[in-house]
Amino acid sequence: KNIYRFNWNAAIAQDPFDKNTIYYGSQHVHKSTNKGVSWETISPDLTTNDSAKIDQSTTGGLTLDITGAENHCTILAIEPSTKQAGVIWVGTDDGNVQLTTDGGKTWTNFRGKIPGMPAGCWIPQIKASRFNAGEAFVVANDYRRGNFAPYIFRTTDFGKTWTRIVDEKKVTGYTLCMIQDPTEPNLIFVGTEQGLWVSFDNGSSFQQWKNDYPSVSTYDLVIQEREADLVIATFGRALWIMDDIRPLRKVAAEKGMLAKKLTVFPAPDAYQAQYRAATGYEWSTMGLYDAPNRSRGAAISFFIGGAKDTAAKKTRNDSVTVKIYNDKNENIRNLKWKTEAGFNRESWSMDEKGYRQPGSPKPRAGAQEPRGFQVLPGRYKIVVSLNKESDSTFINVNDDPRFGNRNDIKLAQQKMYDRLRMSGDKLTEGMDQLTESEELCSKMMAQLKDVTGKDADSLRKATKAMQDSIKAIKEYISGEPSDKQGINRDRGQTVMRSYQTAAQYIGSKNVAPGAQEEKLVMMAEEDINEAVQRINKFYANQWKAYRQQVENTKLNLFKDYKPID
């Protein structure tokens, strides 16, 4: 009776020419043509069938476990060719690389025929080329016996000749997986114990990928072809997705691109997706771990070349400036991004230029623009500039497909938001005046610090009164500061609270603003109008009298200094 040996990670594969046909590996290759209902064995034992490695139950060797994970001399990889029916590659955990070109009738073992491959090493993966029927990549490792060198071998002639394309000079860490891009043959990814590596020249050279990906054990690589995403499985049992590898395809396809100072890649479509927090997870202080998700914005990828080692990103560049134009060629947004040599990916939040919030500091020269309202779906031009170099691309912004066309809703929301903004601008101007006056009073008190006399005392008293009045108006608008911390630091119902509540409600629902939003905006307008009247009254009366007093007071700000003996 034949006793099958299945590895803990037993090989399984689907036939690329018949979706109902699947293959499964023990020491044999088993085939089902009806999705696993019935099976036939289409190969002999393809392993070494070494009795010293498969007789644990009687030799007193490794202790058997209920998982059967200790089984040796088993198949780890089954790889049918997508270019030629009947071509199947097999790799085992005891160093065999087997090939059939007739669907399993005959098999060829390449053990000892691949120069540089250690005998008895593990073959965790074999990848058949999507471009050439006779081409395949064999991933091998031998770290279980203390050999930590990386091995990947390539054949282009069904195993007649072999070339080692990965060694210690090209990557770090023993090899675990690889994949060749299905549309650009020059682009190859390799996973090792020390991270992810990429080749833009069909395996001639490799660079470690460090953009947000750590040096971790990288176990498997799959390309999601519809989205052009690289999906990575790590030993930490996590999935990590590199979104949109099309820019890397372009780098691999066009020689010399890495030497260009600036290249902006075509941008994928962006979606104004709506997100909701998971039930039961409200505050970050709850301490639940969240891995960082990709940005919600529109992804813009660009490459800054000219550095000797773009992978190490040792060359720091100045900020790039970004201008965004709508379909009327109107400049609706300006951004600045800090970048480094090599591949960069930033995001635009799909918003227009915003405006300052009341009470916020005046922006410094060169500061980022504030964020504004969400743009309408459409086509936008992105112009990226670095020093004297510029490049551009276009991006399609789409609404959340789950809600259909919401342009009318967004236009109505923006119209009401612009209405509220007009009142907000008045309040911003008023609070700027108060801040400037507050700073002037502080300077005046500093000048009066060491000045004596009746006029100085009177002016000090008047300045203090101005400071108190300004503080009272600011607290009326923004609320009185509190020593409380956390969620209980509520400043009560203020002018700013009224304004912020209205602003938040306008775009909080997937419907056009209604009676509730109208009422909130009216309340905010009334509160802001009262605050502006109070500011105007202060400047027309108290501040005017104070200014007159300052201008009429003659102060001697100089001390008399005696000669030093």
* Side chain identity, residue 101: T
Inter-CA distances, 210 with 195, 214, 248, 343, Å = 8, 6, 14, 10
Q: Cβ distance 155 to 136 under 8 Å?
A: yes
- Compute the distance between CA of residue 144 and CA of residue 156 in angstroms, rounded to an integer: 29
Buried (b) or exposed (e) across 161-197, using 16+ Cβ within 10 A? ebebbbeeebbbbbbbbbbbbebbbbbbbbbbbbbbb
The answer to whether 26 and 5 are in contact (CB under 8 A) is yes
The 3-class secondary structure across 392-436, one letter per residue, is: EEEEEEEECCCCCCCHHHHHHHHHHHHHHHHHHHHHHHHHHHHHH
For residue 221, give both structure tokens. 């690589």
pLDDT of residue 17: 97
- Domain ranges across the chain: 12-254, 296-399, 407-481+491-552
At 310 the pLDDT is 44
Backbone angles phi, psi at 151, to 5 degrees: -135, 125
Residue 417 CA to residue 487 CA, distance in Å, equals 27
Q: pLDDT per residue over 269-304, tens digit each?
A: 999 988 776 666 666 666 666 667 778 899 999 999
Q: How many helices (H) and strands (E) does the chain have?
A: 7, 29
**Rounded-to-integer distance, Cα 538 and Cα 476, Å:** 13
The CATH number of the structural domain formed by 12-254 is 2.130.10.10
Q: Which token pair is 298?
A: 């529109």
CATH topology of domain 296-399: Immunoglobulin-like (2.60.40)
pLDDT, the chain, mean: 90
Q: What is the pTM of this model?
A: 0.80
**Distance, CA of 429 to CA of 435 (rounded, Å):** 10
Q: Quote the pLDDT of residue 378.
A: 95
pLDDT tens-digit map of 74-99: 999 999 999 999 999 999 999 999 99
CA 390 to chain centroid, in Å, comes to 24
Span 229-266, pLDDT tens digits:
999 999 977 899 999 999 999 999 988 887 889 999 99
Check whether 518 has a pLDDT greater than 60. Answer: yes
What are the phi and psi torsion angles at 343 (to 5°)?
A: -80, 130
> For 343, what's the count of Cα atoms within 13 Å in the CB-facing half-sphere?
23
DSSP 437-473: HHHHHHHHHHHTTT--SHHHHHHHHHHHHHHHHHHHH
315 pLDDT tier (thresholds 50, 70, 90): very low
Give me the residue label for tokens 């119209």: 415
DSSP string, 230-282: EEEEETTS-EEEE---HHHHHHHHSTTGGGSS-EEPPPPPEEE----PPTT--
> Where do we find the tokens 């490695």?
53
- Residues whose CB falls within 8 Å of the CB of residue 466, separated by 6 or more in sequence, listed in order: 437, 441, 542, 543, 546
Whole-number Å distance between alpha carbons of 386 and 291: 32
**Integer angstrom CA distances of residue 336 from 163, 302, 324, 365, 393:** 46, 14, 12, 13, 17
Mean pLDDT for 157-184 is 98
pLDDT of residue 289: 65
**Alpha carbon of 565 to those of 559, 560, 562: distances in Å?**
18, 16, 9
Q: How confident is the model at residue 509 (pLDDT cuts 50, 70, 90)?
A: confident
Measured CA to CA in angstroms, residue 86 lies from 81, 126, 319 at distances of 8, 16, 55
**At which residue do the structure tokens 């820019």 appear?**
247
**Over 60: is that where the pLDDT of 471 sits?**
yes
Is a pLDDT exceeding 50 seen at residue 312? no
What single DSSP character describes residue 539?
A: I
End-to-end CA distance of the chain: 117
Task: Give the pLDDT confidence score for residue 65 in this predicted structure.
Answer: 60
pLDDT surpasses 80 at 105: yes
Calculate ∠ Cα 105-110-111, nearest 5°: 125
30 beta partners? 24, 41
How confident is the model over 473-477, as a mean pLDDT? 95
Between strands 22-25 and 207-208, the pairing is unpaired
Task: State the CB neighbour count (10 A cutoff) for residue 324.
Answer: 23
Nearest to 352 by CA among 377, 334, 333: 333
Residues 107/41, Cβ–Cβ less than 8 Å: no
Cβ burial of 382 (10 Å; 0-12, 13-18, 19+) is buried
